[in-house]
């Protein structure tokens, strides 16, 4: 991208599509938002939830954070950006689904896996944030000794998503809604190399290619 003109041209296309061709959409969205799905995705520029799912404005409530990690429930006086966004989506917007959207070649997980090695840039915040996924890293290092680093990272990416699913259930108002069948939790793993999405099946404990119906 040479300059911001690329973004300006993109905004003009957006404006033509959603304000000139479909002037009713934002007329409704001005009144309220009613998304049914919360997506907790990675900040990675290659994995945009709305683009990936071809959604329109108002369809998704999106939280994006390095590593698409979800911390455990910690009700205290500290700052909780991710947790507060999840609370808003669940308790105020009453979303019906939460999707953790992870992906291959995640830089955050790569950083976690090399945390004890010498790093080019010293982190102020990222390392401590990625420590949320330390249990996933420990499992990988214990069970995948001698495996190629790339394979270890992929397994850790998926293990961290499962850990985040478990962390979601530590929020009492999430667990209550799940138990009452008012909220469903999902983990989707987007493979950059193939363009496939793998859904975590809680019965088989495996990530399986997401099947679509035409």
Across the chain, mean pLDDT equals 94
Evaluate if residue 214 carries a pLDDT over 70.
no
pLDDT in tens, 53-70: 999 999 999 999 999 999
Evaluate if residue 77 carries a pLDDT over 80.
no
pLDDT at position 120: 64
Evaluate if residue 34 carries a pLDDT over 70.
yes
pLDDT at position 117: 64
113: three-class secondary structure by DSSP:
helix
Q: Which residues contact 151 (CB under 8 A, 6 or more apart)?
A: 144
Is residue 1 very low, low, confident or very high in pLDDT (cuts 50, 70, 90)?
low
Binding-site sequence positions = 42, 103, 106
Evaluate if residue 22 carries a pLDDT over 70.
yes
Domain ranges of the chain: 1-32, 35-209
pLDDT at position 67: 98
pLDDT at position 158: 98
The residue among 59, 28, 64, 26 whose CA lies nearest residue 46 is 64
- pTM (2 d.p.): 0.94
The residue among 103, 130, 105 whose CA lies nearest residue 188 is 103
Q: Do 98 and 40 touch, CB atoms closer than 8 A?
A: yes
pLDDT in tens, 78-108: 889 999 999 999 999 999 999 999 999 999 9
157: three-class secondary structure by DSSP:
helix
Asked if CATH classification 3.40.1050.10 holds for the domain at 35-209, the reply, yes or no, is yes
Binding-site sequence positions for Zn(2+) = 42, 103, 106
184-190 and 197-201 beta bridge pairing:
antiparallel
Average pLDDT over residues 142-164: 96
Q: Do 155 and 163 touch, CB atoms closer than 8 A?
A: no
pLDDT in tens, 105-136: 999 999 999 976 666 667 889 999 999 999 99
Q: Do 157 and 189 touch, CB atoms closer than 8 A?
A: yes
């Amino acid at each position: 991208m040479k300059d911001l003109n690329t973004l300006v041209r993109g905004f003009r296309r957006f404006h033509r599509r959603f304000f000139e061709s479909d002037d009713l959409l934002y007329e409704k969205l001005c009144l309220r938002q009613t998304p049914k799905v919360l997506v907790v995705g990675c900040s990675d520029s290659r994995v945009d939830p709305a683009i990936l799912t071809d959604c329109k404005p108002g369809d998704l409530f999106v939280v994006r954070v390095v590593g698409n990690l979800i911390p455990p429930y910690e009700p205290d006086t500290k700052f909780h950006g991710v947790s507060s966004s999840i609370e808003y989506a669940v308790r105020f917007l009453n979303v019906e689904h939460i999707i953790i959207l992870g992906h291959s070649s995640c830089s955050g997980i790569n950083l976690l896996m090399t945390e004890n090695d010498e790093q080019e840039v010293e982190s102020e915040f990222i390392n401590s944030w990625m420590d949320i996924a330390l249990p996933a890293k420990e499992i990988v290092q214990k069970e995948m000794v001698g495996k190629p680093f790339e394979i270890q990272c992929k397994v850790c990416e998926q293990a961290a998503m499962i850990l985040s699913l478990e962390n979601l259930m530590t929020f009492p108002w999430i667990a209550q809604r799940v138990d009452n069948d008012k909220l469903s939790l999902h983990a989707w793993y987007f493979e950059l190399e193939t363009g496939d999405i793998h859904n975590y099946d809680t019965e088989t404990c495996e990530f399986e290619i997401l099947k679509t119906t035409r």
